[in-house]
Amino acid sequence: MNTRPPIEAPNEPVVLSVSFNNDSSRFAVGLDSGFGIFQSSTCELQASKDFGGGLGLVQMMGNANYLALAGGGRSPKFPSNKVIIWDDSKGKVALEISTLTSVRGVQLSKTRVVVVLHNSVRVYAFEKQPKPLAVYETADNSQGLCCLTDRHLVFPGRTSGQVQVVHLANGSVTIIPAHNSSLRALQLSSDGELLATASEKGTLIRIFSTNSGAKIAERRRGAEAATVYSMRFSPSALGDLRPQIYNPILPVQEFLETAATL
């Protein structure tokens, strides 16, 4: 799966995807030939694997050796409807999950594998024989939007512009009417207490509490429409943001970094 047109350079691998681990200390790059794992602070290559085929999705499990992989690019390594959990310490496949339609996204924790399809999110137990735990229907989600922490699972709702927050401790679901148009980006803070959302219009960034679903703040990115590709909370700024969590005039743009293209 290609989330956007790849940037190509002569005689260099084509980058198909980039994703951070849960504490942003490392990031994984999916290539048309395999993957690379880099340290965020130095951009030093820490691990790599040449599969001889493209990986459109590479998602790390924290700082563990497990990675969730899905095929992508012109010559995918794996079928579009399969998620591979790769054990890099042993250099072999730990488990596989097959679906009926193409995989749009994947999230990984010590206990769960979350597979995102175009109109549903499927949760499996992280076991040698993955057991289905839950299925949630969603609006069209071609971007594979989904966030996972130990306490929350977040993805688009059944209605365009809505967000579903699953509280994993008890399985309850909070519906957040985040935007009037389709969602384009979702991002949780490192502790999972804050959720940032952007719609396909890209003019507004909204911040919500995952526990209550209440809107904490709203900031205008600009007056013209833009495509928001990614958002990240600054780890160093969360301590300053949380004491004023109920202050709607807090300048959230100081704490949230966005990447957008007009």
Q: Tokens at residue 10, please? A: 């002569």
At the topology level of CATH, where does 1-137 sit? Methylamine Dehydrogenase; Chain H (2.130.10)
Average pLDDT value for the chain: 87
Architecture of domain 143-262: 7 Propeller (2.130)
Q: What is the pLDDT of residue 86?
A: 97
Q: Domain-by-domain residue ranges, the chain?
A: 1-137, 143-262
Q: What is the pLDDT of residue 103?
A: 97
What's 56-121 look like in SS3?
EEEEECCCCCEEEEEECCCCECCCCCEEEEEECCCCEEEEEEECCCCCCEEEECCCEEEEECCCEE
> What's the CA gap between 236 and 214, in Å, rounded?
23
> Are 54 and 16 in contact, with CB atoms under 8 Å apart?
yes
Q: What is the pLDDT of residue 191?
A: 83
Q: What is the pLDDT of residue 230?
A: 84
Q: What is the pLDDT of residue 13?
A: 82
pLDDT in tens for each of the 262 residues of the chain? 455 555 555 567 899 999 999 888 899 999 999 999 999 999 999 999 999 999 999 999 988 899 999 999 999 999 999 999 999 999 999 999 999 999 999 999 999 999 999 999 999 999 999 999 999 999 999 999 999 999 999 999 999 999 999 999 999 999 999 999 999 999 998 888 999 999 999 999 999 999 999 999 898 988 899 899 888 887 654 544 443 333 333 334 444 555 554 4
> Are 155 and 137 in contact, with CB atoms under 8 Å apart?
no
Q: What is the pLDDT of residue 248?
A: 35
